[in-house]
Structure 1
Amino acid sequence: MTRAAPPGIDVADVVTGTADTGDDRVASRFVSDTDLVAEVGDARVAPIDVVSGPDLVAEAGDARVATIDVVFGPGDARVLPIERPGARRRGTLVALAAVLLLPGLARAERPTEGGLWPYDPKDILATHDHPDGLRVHYSVDGPSVVPLADLDADGVPDYVTRVADTAAEVLALYRDVFGLRPPRSEAEHDLGSLGGSEALDIYLVEFAGAADGHFGHDACDPDACAGHLLLENDFAGYAYADLAEAVDTVVSHELFHAVQAAYVVDPPVWFSEGTAVWAERAYRPDSRDFLRLCDAYLADTGRSLFKPPAGPVPAFAYGTALWWDFLIERHGPEFVDALLQVGGTPDLPAAIAELLLGRGDDLRAAWLEFSAWNLATGPRAGARDSHAYAEQLAGVIAEQDGSSLDDDDRFFSLTARYYRLDHPGGPLWFGLAAPAPGLEFTLQAVAGGAPDGPVEPPQLAWDGADPEPRILADLPAGGFWLAAVNPVLSDMSIQAHLCAAATREALACVDPLPAPGSTGDDTTGEGTTGDDTDEPAPPERDACGGCRTGSPVLAWLLPLLRRRRRRVP
């Protein structure tokens, strides 16, 4: 939700800036060093030192109070679609200043009243009423003028008719397929007819590139809110393929915010924006916006699902749509209503875990499968189960890539990290510097022994409870992907130093082997020699130390690996 400035402050006069459009992020930047000072009564708000660059740092005296990664428009303002690398748009950062100055919900002014995106006095306004309880407000002349083509000669611009018809279809989908509540009406909050009727109001306005849609609150009670929609007046200069794609995308997204508001007042952004992006695909299965934003999640799977980066609305929050789509496909359309009913729970991740348990599911199991599906996306899709649109995604990014791996880091709750290994063939060793209980590992082969490409189902799975170096399996040469997944819901991360290599000596995270001849079996202390002196013997227990194998091919290998070999003296 858009944050309002304190009373008496004209935020529009405070600061403006530019919005940069890169490959997959819209980075808003202030272009001058300006101290923002706001007065509320006699109390002065701490000055905000706005620095140039992609990160905005707010300072109160010498204390740094916030680092804000400004990626997209604030609150419910829709993300700008990407036009082309290096393109630039001018945009007003008024809403951002409002976020900085006063957190909290407030009644949003409508474009006819002023607000962040007002109609210009030169706009000549008209309305179009849809029989399903919708009213579209638009300009026939002025800065917010809509495309005026009227091919059916009904006196209403075709673009306006398209917006109204699409909104009606979207609301019918939410009601009939998913069983969702309708948006709250003005009458339910005793607001009168704010838009001239009791219909849900949609305003077509010129965003000047700052956003392309917005849901604003008119009033809230403790449980829900009523509001109105804003939509770009013509989408000129935006990256959508055509007006149909633009309207389908933005209307379905913003109307889902209106539906959310019928359940919960102020849900966390990773839930509100992620489920709204899911709704885009629910209405339009070929949604490019959905795919693009899911790629933003796949680019950062080491970040906890419920802790997006700092900033008003980071791309990661939108990209959590991938998780919501996975869960809804797993549990059916009625699951959406159940999700929204718990959307206002203070500990939302725990509430979702309880919701899954009530449906015979388990968050840990669901997260492990979700993480496995995410690996099988983009160039690694096609050889195992995954998302229906897996090949259209960009795919995950390898944390490390090579013949061995060595990673010492924290693994946060509900995350996954992926490592690609070029294996020369033979034993594959794995070890941990210390136990890492709760961390789960899988090993997946690249199909056909290729260095990279479609991955097969997991061949081995094990946990981090046992840190001892061990041979996972004797494997053919080729590419393999190792996944490290934290499926545990917790505020604490898991510290782990893991390593894998083709030989015991190459494991970087464990103590090196004693030098040959330093110990022996006989009383003289002299070492013995034999055929195995250059290769340490596998442990007597299961070679993988608790691995779970899912491959029939490997099932016959494990007994061979259990054979006791003479230890190096």
Structure 2
Amino acid sequence: MSAQPTRTPLLVVVVAVLAALLAAPVAQAEAPAAGPPGAAPASGSQARQALVAAQSILRGDSDVLARGSASSASSDGDATLALRDLVLLKDQLTGADREAAERLLARPTGGNQDPQDDGYSVPEATPVCSADVCVHYVATTRDAATPAYVNTALATLTSVHNTYVGAGYREPKGDGTRGGGSNLMDIYLSDIGDAGLYGYCTTDDKTAFKAPWARSAYCVLDNDYARSEFGDANTAEENLQVTAAHEYFHAVQYAYDFKEDSWLLEATATWAEDELFDAVNDNVQYLGYSPLTRPRLPMDSSGGGFFYGTFVFFRFLTERFPAAQGGLPTLVRDIWRKADGTKGAPDQYSWQAVATVLRGKKTTAAKAFTAFAEANRRPAQTYDEGAANRYPKARLADSLTLGVRQFRREVRLSHLTSATYRLTPGGALRNKAFKLRVLLDLAPTFRGSSAIVTVYTTSGDVRRNIIKLRKDGNATKVVPFSKAGVRQVEVTLVNASGRYDCFVRGAFSCQGDSRDDRQVQRFSARAFR
């Protein structure tokens, strides 16, 4: 793994089971607990949690629809990631637990061995295949798909495949003789909407789970996206389109590194679905729980569905670096090439790969995140679809109408977060000579501190002032503050740190913990003339 420490799988799915929350991150492989003399060894606790979580999600215990990935940004239930974690920990399961995991990971053609009843109960019809994709289905029972739907699914998936390959992405890894022996990408149509799922991908690759990290995948999509199960926000074909694009991108990702950080897996898959089917805009729903609405939550967080809304960061980047191949911006592809965990590849972790690609664009990840944080205060103006799709505006930390008295604030910011304060000139500040002096007392810059002071004029202009901090994090900035010409001034404080202690069972990039969380950031402001 390119001289990096051995990674430990991270359980990113948190689900309610028997009225208890299973929320522990996956740990290093642990020895099963000893049982009574003569008894079979018990399953490892983390592996058992992964099994119960996956069972719960595929049973439909979540009360919202989920696209293998959740269809509600408030859902923790992600079948694709839950199954990924189960695969990683399966060897720690014993006895009945191991058998349950094998059944859970079986393809629908495994039949009734699947305890979640996702398996076909009748022999499958002859799969319908293109040069790259095979669609598997049955013609009867509740899992049945009509010939017209099968053909639409094949055409959609083949188009998705061709788009990704045409954009320079690696094809999904072949699965050899599994899935009918075609060595093509296998997609199974099944009635999974009754469990609240749009689709999911997983792997039954028999390769030992160690580096290199490329794995084959197969995916399961719903057999009809019936309105009775999925509502009428989108048509059945639109649901098929965005789910196919999202889940197939997971299969592409697995050909690079199926153990990559969860937030990068889901954020870029959610970004991809909108790039391929821009008119559907299904991913806009995730912005309700995203860096736009939760700027104080680390952007690379892996829980609670937050990573779906983080697609907006990649939208921000690709709108600013729009160079494209095959109709798709190349920036996300280049990030996956840096995250590539195959033999001889860079095998960088998520934020490291982002930082490397941005350095090649003559900027830094910290500068890009700072610009992103400030731009999120004006999403209608700073995103191509921000106005049309009503992107939410990043929340303010505080707002105050300021007279001549001094304003002081202190905040603790964790990595990849921000806080914006709005200062509005009071009625006494009508003289055009009034200015605002902003004194910044932030954490040292090596800890990720940065700041932008933005002036909104009464004429509608927006003037961004990127503050050049001293190494100790201090700086002074003077800007106009007369009520005659200034509507408001916003001070955005940022912790753009990308420093981690990696592979310590953390919930962030590189399954690590940030070295720079809860940094104290202070500033004061006073009007004068």
TM-score > 0.5 by shorter chain: yes
- Pair member with larger Rg: 1
Instruction: Tell me the equivalent position of 1:529.
Output: none
Structure-2 separation of matches of 1:364 and 1:482: 17
Could you tell me which of 232, 255, 258 is aligned with 2:222?
A: 232
Query: Does residue 324 of structure 2 align to residue 300 of structure 1?
Result: no
Give 1:2-151 correspondences, 5 Å limit.
29-30=16-17, 32=19, 41-43=40-42, 45-46=44-45, 77-81=68-72, 103=89, 108-113=105-110, 114-115=113-114, 118-119=117-118, 122-123=121-122, 125-146=124-145, 148=146
1:247 shift after superposition: 0.7
Instruction: Tell me the equivalent position of 1:461.
Output: 467
Q: 1:101 to 1:481 in 2, by over 3 A?
A: same
- SS across alignment from 2:333: helix
1:242 shift after superposition: 0.4
Higher mean C-alpha displacement, 394-403 vs 178-187 = 394-403
CA RMSD for the aligned pairs? 4.1
Instruction: Tell me the equivalent position of 1:315.
Output: 305
Higher mean C-alpha displacement, 490-499 vs 33-42 = 33-42
Structure-2 separation of matches of 1:98 and 1:224: 13
Q: 1:269 to 1:466 in 2, by over 3 A?
A: closer
Instruction: Tell me the equivalent position of 1:439.
Output: 449
Query: Does residue 156 of structure 2 align to residue 166 of structure 1?
Result: yes
* Kept after mapping to 2: 8 A contact 1:217/1:228: yes
Instruction: Tell me the equivalent position of 2:396.
Output: 398
- SS across alignment from 2:230: coil
Instruction: Tell me the equivalent position of 1:352.
Output: 354
Could you tell me which of 357, 363, 366 is aligned with 1:364?
A: 366
Structure-2 separation of matches of 1:360 and 1:186: 40
* Kept after mapping to 2: 8 A contact 1:134/1:202: yes
Higher mean C-alpha displacement, 98-107 vs 213-222 = 98-107
1:214 shift after superposition: 0.6
1:166 shift after superposition: 0.5
Quick check: which one's strand share is greater? 1
- SS across alignment from 1:408: strand
1:419 shift after superposition: 2.3
Could you tell me which of 332, 335, 348 is aligned with 2:331?
A: 335
* Kept after mapping to 1: 8 A contact 2:400/2:422: yes
Quick check: which one's helix share is greater? 2
1:116 shift after superposition: 6.7
1:390 shift after superposition: 1.9
**Cα deviation code 1:446-483 (max 9, x no counterpart):** 4537xxxx872415635374658875443325333221
Structure-1 separation of matches of 2:522 and 2:125: 64
Give 1:267's aligned amino acid. E
* Kept after mapping to 2: 8 A contact 1:371/1:416: yes
**Cα deviation code 1:114-144 (max 9, x no counterpart):** 4475445645632441323322122332222
Structure-2 separation of matches of 1:439 and 1:34: 35
Instruction: Tell me the equivalent position of 2:376.
Output: 374
Give 1:483's aligned amino acid. T
Instruction: Tell me the equivalent position of 2:28.
Output: none
Query: Does residue 495 of structure 2 align to residue 486 of structure 1?
Result: yes
Instruction: Tell me the equivalent position of 2:175.
Output: 186
Unaligned stretches of 5+ residues in structure 2: 1-8, 24-31, 50-61, 92-100, 324-328, 342-346, 500-514
Instruction: Tell me the equivalent position of 1:281.
Output: 274
1:346 shift after superposition: 5.2
Query: Does residue 520 of structure 2 align to residue 496 of structure 1?
Result: yes
Query: Does residue 189 of structure 2 align to residue 204 of structure 1?
Result: yes
TM-score calculated relative to the size of structure 2 = 0.69
Instruction: Tell me the equivalent position of 1:564.
Output: none
1:173 shift after superposition: 0.8
- SS across alignment from 1:42: coil
Structure-2 separation of matches of 1:427 and 1:92: 51
1:42 shift after superposition: 2.1
Equivalenced residues, count? 429
- The percentage of counterpart residues that share the same residue type is 21
Give 1:202's aligned amino acid. I
Give 2:310's aligned amino acid. T
Give 1:303's aligned amino acid. L
- SS across alignment from 1:430: strand
Q: 1:127 to 1:362 in 2, by over 3 A?
A: same
Q: 1:103 to 1:258 in 2, by over 3 A?
A: same
Give 2:487's aligned amino acid. G
1:487 shift after superposition: 2.9
Could you tell me which of 234, 243, 248 is aligned with 1:250?
A: 243
Give 1:253-268 correspondences, 5 Å limit.
253-268=246-261
Structure-2 separation of matches of 1:483 and 1:496: 14
* Kept after mapping to 1: 8 A contact 2:124/2:136: yes
Give 1:271's aligned amino acid. L
Instruction: Tell me the equivalent position of 1:417.
Output: 419
1:245 shift after superposition: 1.3
Could you tell me which of 201, 210, 214 is aligned with 2:200?
A: 214
Higher relative contact order (CA 8 A, sep 6+): 2
* Kept after mapping to 1: 8 A contact 2:369/2:496: yes
**Cα deviation code 1:140-194 (max 9, x no counterpart):** 3222233x3xxxxxxx2x2221111110111111111x1111111122xxxx142
